[in-house]
Amino acid sequence: MSKRSEVVILDCWASPFCMRVKLVLREKGVEYESREEDLFGGKSQLLLSSNPIHKKVPVLLHNKKPILESTNIVAYIDTVWPSPPLLPSSPYEAAQARFWADFIDKKVFEAGTNIWRSTGEAQEVAKKDFIEVLKQLEGSALGDKKFFAGEAFGFVDLLTIPLTNWFLAYEKIGDFKIEDYCPKLSDWIKRCNQRESVAKVLPDPEKVYEFVASIRKSQGIE
């Protein structure tokens, strides 16, 4: 692994956005130090001073300089450590990848959150919306391809797979199976999960489910 510079992540184990940063660093073979933040107990001074606008993880500190927002961090790392490349070199294909990254950032996690934060009729609506988002992703972006950009694991795969780490929680809380609606996307998830970097970075989805269930309980959503 490369040791060119100091790379620190202000991290939270359950955050799919933090998983993105750890995943891209593993893909690039870059050593990093993870500092777990206590998001409920109290954020560190370093987090508050590094990200005064959003006060959120992940923060990447590269030689002490903060880089913010996970998609932006992944693109930054792809520029600083270009091998293997994640964003396509063709400007048109890079723009396509960034379009889908933006779609995913705006839609997938929020649609999933609406499932576990709700109950009854509202949860049924949330499930329907969530499936709709996944179907758009499956139908218009993935299709019959192995990965989003074709044969190689790339930018959109890397940004999306951590979000799927929460899917088991949505399924157990919402009592449904994503595979029944999106078989191609489900196959893609299985393919990505076999990848060494993904297997090493993503936590056990059961542990994420327990984490989400405990938040639901503490907030009286049941």
Phi, psi of 56 (to 5 degrees): -120, 155
- Work out how close the CB of 46 gets to its own copies at its nearest, in angstroms, rounded to a whole number: 17
The interface mask with its own copies, positions 4-43, x = CB under 8 A, is ----------------------------------------
Q: Which strands sit side by side in the sheet containing 33-36, from one edge to the other?
A: 33-36, 7-11, 59-62, 65-68
CA distance 220 to 65: 40
Peptide bond into 58 cis (omega under 30): yes
Single-letter code of the amino acid located at 174: G
- According to DSSP, the β-strands at 59-62 and 65-68 are antiparallel
Kindly tell me which of 89 and 219 has the beta carbon lying closer to its own copies: 89
The interface mask with its own copies, positions 65-104, x = CB under 8 A, is x-xxx--xx-xx--xx----------xx-xx--xx--xx-
Q: Which of 140, 150, 200, 210 binds its own copies (CB under 8 A)?
A: 140
The interface mask with its own copies, positions 97-136, x = CB under 8 A, is -xx--xx--------------------------------x
**Which runs of E-coded beta strand occur in 92-171?**
none
CA distance 140 to 27: 26
- Work out how close the CB of 102 gets to its own copies at its nearest, in angstroms, rounded to a whole number: 6
Q: What separation, in Å, do the N-terminal and C-terminal C-alpha atoms of the chain show?
A: 46
Q: Which of 5, 33, 36, 52 binds its own copies (CB under 8 A)?
A: 52
- Work out how close the CB of 56 gets to its own copies at its nearest, in angstroms, rounded to a whole number: 12
Is there a contact between 57 and 15 (Cβ–Cβ < 8 Å)?
yes
Residues binding its own copies: number (CB under 8 A) = 23
Query: Which residues between 152 and 211 bind its own copies (CB under 8 A)?
Result: none
Q: What is the DSSP letter of 30?
A: B
List residues near its own copies by CB under 8 A.
52-53, 62, 65, 67-69, 72-73, 75-76, 79-80, 91-92, 94-95, 98-99, 102-103, 136, 140
